[in-house]
């Protein structure tokens, strides 16, 4: 993957075989990418520091020494034999109540939906956590303020919150991303801060996906929602086993799983399988209808319509990758110590 924030090509120190939790997705299987020998020879400390390269450049030496370095030192890295396939979940409380929680686990340990699942897959797709299945109204979300980051129902005036209309899509988030509420978003044409949550993802297929499903998706585009003055990106994705993805994968087959070409142009490294035109042809009018859903859904609660940045345009896959990596870098900064809101970060953070 090409990181447009650092302007570097990411190595593959680990591989994440295509797999899923709860068996809803059946994934395209690609070859694994072994750890490059020169990375295997690096010490664990150096590998940890690589993850925080952005923090090292963007913060003071004192803060890097006192905050970033200790956070990096407590990370554990899981080798390439590990994958998300061994993940599970358990729930507490009654579904539909304010006490309901759905936790993620790996090998019997609670690991959290937000921090411990890699944001990218071995085939350069994205991991997607489904919070709200299509056709439902319960406003479920990864709770960033609780230890373990379970999926829970949002609460309004002491009661579980519901949308006034059914979700017209599968709604979820991308792990290891963060829309920083302390920083002006550089990708927006107005001065606005992030909403303080992981990057939202809108999955476009027709079939509902069960809450708590973890699976691979392909980014297609991104919409800039302005929610009460905050930037709230909506990443448009399609599940990796969808027939349209398989069709375009075959048509546009290139080396290394379909994302990287032989070109040296950075913009081609993350070339998506799908274009907005591909999706529009297969799902005519769907993306525009989703934009209208986001514009009006709060009016059913007696609020004003939402607004959008970037002239309400659904930006393409290349722009979407910029947003993805920006949010991933903000997450790195968060777990590295830039955490003024004191969100719970695991003391023993696992990077799967």
CA distances, 5 to each of 194, 196, 220, 243, 330 (Å): 17, 20, 19, 32, 11
Helices (H) and strands (E) in the chain, counts: 10, 17
User: Each residue of 218-269: pLDDT tens digit?
Assistant: 999 999 999 989 999 999 999 999 999 988 888 876 544 444 443 333 344 4
- Please report the pLDDT score of residue 110 as a whole number: 87
Q: How confident is the model at residue 283 (pLDDT cuts 50, 70, 90)?
A: very high
Bridge partners (DSSP) listed for residue 226: 231, 307
Least confident segment among 22-31, 171-180, 203-212: 22-31
User: Each residue of 287-315: pLDDT tens digit?
Assistant: 999 999 999 999 998 999 999 999 999 99
**Which residues fall within 8 angstroms of residue 321, CB to CB, at 6 or more apart?**
2, 4, 219, 270
- Please report the pLDDT score of residue 163 as a whole number: 96
- Please report the pLDDT score of residue 1 as a whole number: 67
- Please report the pLDDT score of residue 43 as a whole number: 34
Buried b (16+ CB within 10 A) or exposed e, 160-187: bbbbeeebbbbbbbbbbbbbbeeeebeb
């Amino acid at each position: 993957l090409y990181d447009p924030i650092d302007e570097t090509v990411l190595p593959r120190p680990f591989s994440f075989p295509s797999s899923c939790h709860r068996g809803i997705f059946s994934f395209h299987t690609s070859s694994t990418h072994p750890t490059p020998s020169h990375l295997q020879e690096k010490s664990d400390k150096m590998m940890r520091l690589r993850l925080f390269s952005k923090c090292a450049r963007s913060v003071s030496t004192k803060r890097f020494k006192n905050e970033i370095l200790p956070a990096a030192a407590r990370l554990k890295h899981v080798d390439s034999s590990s994958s998300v396939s061994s993940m599970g979940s358990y729930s507490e409380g009654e579904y539909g109540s304010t006490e309901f929680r759905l936790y993620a686990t790996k090998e019997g340990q609670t690991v959290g939906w937000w921090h411990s699942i890699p944001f990218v897959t071995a085939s350069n797709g994205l991991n997607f956590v489904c919070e709200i299945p299509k056709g439902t109204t319960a406003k479920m979300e990864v709770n960033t303020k609780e230890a373990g980051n379970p999926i829970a129902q949002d609460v309004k005036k002491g009661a579980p919150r519901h949308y006034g209309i059914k979700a017209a899509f599968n709604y979820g988030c991308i792990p290891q991303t963060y829309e920083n509420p302390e920083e002006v978003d550089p990708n927006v044409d107005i001065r606005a801060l992030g909403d303080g949550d992981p990057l939202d993802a809108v999955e476009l297929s027709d079939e509902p996906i069960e809450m708590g499903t973890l699976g691979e998706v392909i980014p297609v585009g991104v919409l800039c929602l302005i929610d009460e003055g905050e930037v709230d990106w909506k990443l448009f994705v399609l599940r990796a086993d969808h027939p349209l993805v398989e069709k375009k994968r075959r048509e546009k087959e290139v080396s290394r799983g379909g994302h990287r070409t032989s070109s040296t142009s950075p913009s081609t490294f993350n070339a998506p399988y799908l274009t907005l035109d591909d999706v529009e042809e297969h799902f005519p009018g769907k993306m525009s209808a989703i934009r209208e859903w986001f514009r009006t859904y709060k009016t059913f609660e007696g609020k004003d319509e939402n607004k959008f940045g970037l002239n309400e345009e659904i930006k393409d896959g290349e722009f979407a990758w910029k947003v993805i990596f920006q949010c991933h870098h903000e997450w790195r900064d968060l777990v590295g110590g830039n955490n003024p809101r004191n969100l719970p970060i695991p003391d023993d953070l696992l990077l799967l």
